[in-house]
Each structure stands twice: as C-alpha cells, then as structure tokens.
C-alpha cells in the first residue's frame, strides 16, 4: 500500500503563507485509513491535530510564516500505523511517497 503526502502553499502577503497537507492514493488504499494525526511546530495553537475527513484526503489547512518539519502518524483501520515527516516548503509543492 502506497500513499503520497502532498503539501501546497500560497502567499498571504508579508511573508505569511496559507498552506495545506493531505494524502493522495488509490481509493481502496485511502479507504483503509482511519485518521491522520499531524504534529505541527510547538508555536501553533493546538499543535497536535487529528484529521478524520477521508473525502479531503485527511487534509490539514493552516497558515504561518516559518518553515518547519511536520510529523504525522497514519492510523489504519486494521490497527497498524506509520509515522513519518515532511519538511514544509512555501516556494514549491512538496510530496513524498509513504509505504505502509
């Protein structure tokens, strides 16, 4: 099973960025995911966020001014889980293949 984590961003002005991170893959693979838990930089309000919205690809949307590493745990419906991370980049789309 493979999923691709994708991070996109858009300038909001004054070196501030609106950005999101989500997962893409085969419909049958996304259906196996129960939720994704993201761990953002400690300066974010509620830096640990659990996203259960399968239809959005477990998308997290937020904004900020500095780059950092987002840690995440993909929790599958069968009890397995996968931990990984992605460096946030505001200048280009970032993506990474995750094998479960």
- C-beta separation of 62 from 98 below 8 A: no
Q: Where are the domains of the chain?
A: 2-99
Report whether 98 contacts 81 (CB < 8 A). Answer: no
The reply to whether the predicted model has a pTM over 0.75 is: yes
Task: Check whether 11 has a pLDDT greater than 90.
Answer: yes
Q: Identify the band that residue 61 occupies on the pLDDT scale cut at 50, 70 and 90.
A: very high
pLDDT greater than 90 at residue 91: no
Question: What topology does CATH give the domain 2-99?
Answer: Immunoglobulin-like (2.60.40)
């Amino acid at each position: 099973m493979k999923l691709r984590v994708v991070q996109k961003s858009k300038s909001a002005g004054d070196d501030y960025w609106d950005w999101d991170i989500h997962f893409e893959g085969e419909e049958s693979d996304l259906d196996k995911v129960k939720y994704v838990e993201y761990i953002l930089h400690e300066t974010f309000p509620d830096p640990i966020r659990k996203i259960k919205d399968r239809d959005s690809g477990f998308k997290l949307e937020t904004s900020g001014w500095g780059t950092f590493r987002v840690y995440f745990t993909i929790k599958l419906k069968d009890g397995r889980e996968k931990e990984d991370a992605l460096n946030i980049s505001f200048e280009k789309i970032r993506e990474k293949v995750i094998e479960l």
